Amino acid sequence: MDFTQAFSGPFCTMMLADNGARVIKIEKKITGDMLRDAGPFDDDHNSLYFASGNRGKESVELDLTDSNDIALVKAIIKDADILVENFRPGVMAKLGLSYEDVIKINPKIIYTSISGFGQTGPRKHEPGFDMIAQGYSGLMSVNGELHGKALRVGVSIGDMNGGLFAYMGTMTALYAREKNEKGSHVDISMTDGLFALMPPQVANYSNTGKIETTCGNAHPAIAPFGVVATADGEIIISILGKKLWHAFCDLINRPEIEMDERFKTNELRLKNRNEFRKIERPILKTKTSDEWISLFQKAGIPCARINNIKEACEMEQIKARNMLCKAGDYILAGNPMKMSGYSDDYVKGKIPDLGEHTDKIRNEFK
């Protein structure tokens, strides 16, 4: 059962649907999921944002303050394996659908809660959208131009990361139930999830007191590693370890800098990054991006173009991995989990209209 809206919860339940689960989405009467009103929109003013997180689900339009609709919900819960919700802590309890309430109906259910700050702690009742989590977690403080202002990550990473952790927690609990026959309450905080994405930064502060800040398109701990300018644009190069450092120095025809006392180790290259850039930048400006990409690839040096969304969608690698799919009338990002023995069909479940399956579900669970 899917009681989620916005994006963190729907992203979790869409992955469940993509991987074979039947997902019954409970939506508020008349208005439905709040993302149905969020752009971008197609020509018929249907939300593409909503479509991107809700394929393959059944939509049931209910009034959760109506006793008859609550009775229907409880009938569905009785047969459900999983319940996912992303209200603020306490909202489900007011509806009589807290974890404690639900396990009286179905003791083995996996009940997953996603919220801004989790089910415990002094901030648990505060609302938490993606950018709130990005700010509180510390993630924004390390994202931005070198020594510049903190910037939000350009995608809703707090939402999607929360959905990913919710999916992983849900499936872990479901597997554990196969062993111990016990249900579980999975408690996911979007802020926790983003905090967990920064192990080196947390370790650095916790053990040395150093506070990392924005470092632009350079890697905070490895050099040379990041975006570099070419004759006609920019590319990414990644030099990690002695083998790649040797290959890089050889490729740019500057073997003498490999053992230069300023650059012999990664630590020294970080310390003297600005001096190294004075050598590196004029050299990389002598060839086009395509020329450098070809040379780096032949030398086994990790590198990449910086694609826009059009270019990424048109990459042969994306097509070969079936990372675009058709859901009803839409082309959407595909399922990144590829598992042998399981199909990864190009055509996925359609996007449900609000309340499209209400009558069907009422008849099934009456």
Residues acting as catalytic residues: 219
Tokens standing for 71? 């009775």
CA separation for the pair 308, 39 (Å, rounded): 20
Q: Phi and psi (nearest 5°) for 180?
A: -110, -5
DSSP string for 318-364:
HHHTT-EEEETTEEEE------TTS---SEEPPPPPTTTTHHHHHHH
226, 220 in Cβ contact below 8 A?
no
CA separation for the pair 90, 357 (Å, rounded): 28
Classify each residue of 4-19 as buried b or exposed e, where b means 16 or more C-beta atoms within 10 Å of its C-beta: bbbbbbbbbbbbbbbe
Angle at alpha carbon of residue 227, lines to 225 and 230, rounded to 5° = 120
CA separation for the pair 200, 183 (Å, rounded): 34
Q: Phi and psi (nearest 5°) for 266?
A: -60, -40
